[in-house]
C-alpha cells in the first residue's frame, strides 16, 4: 500500500510539472478591409513562422509569446501590408485592429 501511494505521488508530481512548463499559447487577431482583399496572413518571429487564412475579413493566428512581424498577403490589385514589432504576451491576445488595404 505504501509503495502504491509513493508511486501515485510521483505520477501526480510529474503530471503537474509537465503542465507547469507547457508554453502558453495565445493569438494575434485582426480584421482586413476589404474582406475579399486578402487570403492569408503570416506571423514571423525569427526563424519561426505561422500562416493563417482570412475568413470574412477576420483572422486569428495561434502563437507563443514574443515579438512578431505580421504580413497580410493581399490579392491584386491590393498591396501587401507589413506590421512590425507586434508584441504578444503570455495569455494576452494581441489585436492589431483593422488593416485597410491600399491599391
- Give the model confidence (pLDDT) of 49-97 as tens digits: 999 999 999 999 999 999 999 999 999 999 999 999 999 998 888 999 9
C-alpha cell at position 86:
507586434
User: So where are the chain's domains?
Assistant: 24-100
Domain 24-100: top CATH class: mainly beta
Q: Is residue 93 classed as helix, strand or coil in its secondary structure?
A: coil
Q: pTM value?
A: 0.74
CA distance 33 to 48: 26
* Confidence band, pLDDT 50/70/90 cuts, at residue 22: low
Tell me what the mean pLDDT of segment 21-46 comes to.
88
User: pLDDT value at position 19?
Assistant: 56
CA distance 20 to 18: 5
With 0-12 CB in 10 A as exposed, 13-18 as middle and 19+ as buried, what is 32? buried
The yes-or-no verdict on residue 5 having pLDDT over 90 is no
Amino acid at each position: 500500500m505504501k509503495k502504491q501511494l509513493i508511486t501515485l505521488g510521483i505520477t501526480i508530481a510529474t503530471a503537474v510539472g509537465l503542465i507547469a512548463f507547457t508554453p502558453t499559447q495565445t493569438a494575434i487577431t485582426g480584421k482586413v478591409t476589404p474582406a475579399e482583399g486578402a487570403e492569408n496572413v503570416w506571423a514571423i518571429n525569427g526563424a519561426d513562422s505561422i500562416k493563417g487564412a482570412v475568413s470574412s475579413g477576420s483572422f486569428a493566428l495561434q502563437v507563443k509569446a514574443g515579438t512578431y512581424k505580421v504580413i497580410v498577403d493581399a490579392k491584386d490589385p491590393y498591396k501587401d501590408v507589413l506590421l512590425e514589432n507586434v508584441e504578444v504576451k503570455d495569455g494576452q491576445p494581441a489585436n492589431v485592429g483593422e488593416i485597410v488595404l491600399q491599391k
